[in-house]
DNA sequence: TTCTTCCTCTATGTATACACAGGTTTGGGC
DNA sequence: GCCCAAACCTGTGTATACATAGAGGAAGAA
């Protein structure tokens, strides 16, 4: 694999998985040494991270991993609300009803009996990802899907904060199921409304997790 | 100014202003020679253009300026519909009523008497840009504004196609005025609806311009 | 003791040399 | 005359050398 691509993927993962904490300063030579490549591919990786918004220029000190705040989560969800609602609405008009009915059925089953261990959790996340992928495929609108994709990078970074909240998991499954049902029914307005409700709850859960974390590490 | 930044700005302008037509193949050495810099800053510029979506990788032939099609315009407006409607709604909740009332007043004047020469057109575009900037400032939501900004790059590329349509200009001014009025009135639902109407008309005008162009140059 | 100035060091910006891959063209053989 | 293979050429990928700017520290003067 190309060194530049590899460097980008490693740094990307390190940031999203919180191995590189927000505020950490990155220098080209330092990362080049750590990743075992020269500065050139690291420069390429930095440039991509910058355009993704995962790092910010730090005047005179190179780049720093961008911070995560309650304010930034709110801003993130104000965009996500617009994107996902639009996507759900378009999918309801264009999607394959059978596919979404099937997804709804499986999500409902999961909402009623979420299970407790890691395997069950992973099964739920996999199913939620399949719903996202099905929505992407149904809207077939490159710019919209692209915007969602680049936002999901940031979402996956903050979502780690609320993972493991069992009660939220059950609710999220039920909300996903209802979105899938609305799309299967071909009801754009309902699909949009369900999406807004789901995102509102998700955001509340993440904001709660952030304030808890802040209290633990003030 | 840094050579990489300059190279990016020049290439960016060349693409948006249609001096580099869609499909044109770009090679590092060629552009480095044309712009009078070495390959390194050109590489940086290419990488930024790639992440903006203005160029696409052409397997085995370097990069090519991305194509513009009726389909891509539709996809663009499906995203813009979501972003601008959300922005207008948020601005109606948060914006300074006085500022938008003033903008509405001036846009109405322009809709009633648009004028005919280039100066009048420029005055209208300047006013429309001021409305966009005021909406951006009012929503104060970094992710949403950032998404709008990156989409506007592509929009400005296709908007050139419909510029000079005098009848559309008058209608667009009236629609902008109504958006500003709705925001000034603090009515999010109306602001969203006005935005959707405006964008629907804009898209129709651009699609009409594209099919006309296609007929002229089949 | 503190402020200012200069020096140094470390960071990035740029150029260029070299490696390598893929496509095309040309030459030889059938 | 056609087909296959090899070499070349053009393109990007990577490393490194050098220029330069900015920040931080040290030293001298007030």
CA distance B93 to chain A (A): 13
Question: Quick one: pLDDT band at residue A79, thresholds 50, 70, 90?
Answer: very high
Give chain D positions with protein CB within 7 A: 10-17, 22-24
Task: Identify any residues that bridge with A210 across adjacent strands, giving them in sequence order.
Answer: none
CB A134 within 8 A of CB A103: yes
B125-132 contacts: CB < 8 A, separation 24 or more?
Answer: B127/B103, B127/B176, B128/B172, B128/B173, B128/B176, B130/B103, B131/B103, B131/B107, B131/B176, B131/B179, B131/B180
Q: Are residues A28 and A132 in the same domain?
A: no
For residues A152 and A96, the answer to whether their CB atoms sit within 8 Å is no
Beta strands in A66-181 (DSSP E): none
Residue after which a domain boundary falls, among B19, B49, B65: B65
Listed residues B65, B84, B111: the one ending a domain? B65
Closest-lying nucleotide for A60 based on CA to C1': D22
Same domain, B61 and B77: no
| Residue pLDDT, tens place only, B133-185 | 999 999 999 999 999 999 999 999 998 887 767 788 889 999 999 999 999 99
* Cβ-contact A89, A189 below 8 angstroms: yes
Cα separation, B107 vs B92, whole angstroms: 17
| Domain identity same for B29 and B122 | no
Single residue among A65, A85, A106 that ends a domain in this structure:
A65
- A25/A92 same-domain check: no
pLDDT at position A218 over 60: no
Closest C1' nucleotide to B60's CA: C22
Which position has the higher pLDDT, A162 or B80? B80
Residues B184 and B171 reside in one and the same domain:
yes
**pLDDT for residue B121:** 84
User: Are A206 and A161 contacting, i.e. CB atoms less than 8 angstroms apart?
Assistant: yes
B42 lies in the same domain as B81 = no
pLDDT of residue A120: 82
Q: What CATH number is given to the structural domain containing A110?
A: 1.20.120.530
Residue A91 touches chain B, beta carbons under 8 Å: no
Task: Report how many domains make up chain B.
Answer: 2
pLDDT score, position A167: 83
Residue B107 distance to chain A (closest CA, Å):
27
Is A49 found in the same domain as A102? Answer: no
Domain that holds residue B36: 3-65
Same-domain pairing of A117 and A157? yes
> Is the same domain home to A49 and A146?
no
In a shared domain, residues A83 and A163: yes
Tokens matching residue A16: 């999203």
Instruction: Judge if A45 and A82 occupy the same domain.
Output: no
pLDDT tens, residue by residue, B35-50:
999 999 998 899 999 9
- Considering the domain architecture, whether residues B117 and B23 belong to the same structural domain is answered as no
């Amino acid at each position: 694999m190309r060194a530049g691509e590899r460097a980008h993927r490693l740094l990307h993962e390190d940031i999203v998985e919180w191995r590189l904490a927000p505020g950490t300063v990155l220098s080209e030579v330092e990362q080049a040494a750590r990743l075992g490549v020269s500065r050139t591919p690291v420069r390429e990786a930095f440039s991509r991270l910058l355009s993704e918004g995962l790092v910010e220029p730090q005047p005179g000190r190179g780049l720093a991993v961008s911070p995560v705040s309650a304010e930034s989560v709110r801003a993130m969800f104000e965009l996500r609300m617009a994107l996902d609602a639009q996507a759900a609405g378009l999918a309801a008009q264009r999607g394959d009803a059978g596919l979404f009915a099937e997804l709804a059925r499986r999500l409902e089953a999961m909402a009623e009996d979420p299970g407790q261990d890691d395997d069950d959790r992973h099964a739920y996340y996999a199913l939620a990802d399949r719903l996202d992928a099905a929505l992407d495929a149904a809207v077939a609108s490159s710019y919209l899907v692209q915007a969602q994709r680049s936002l999901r990078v940031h979402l996956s970074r903050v979502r780690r904060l609320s993972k493991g909240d069992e009660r939220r998991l059950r609710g999220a499954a039920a909300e996903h199921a209802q979105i899938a049902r609305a799309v299967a029914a071909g009801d754009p307005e309902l699909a949009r409304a369900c999406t807004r409700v789901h995102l509102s709850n998700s955001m509340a859960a993440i904001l709660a997790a952030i304030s808890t974390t802040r209290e633990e590490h003030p």
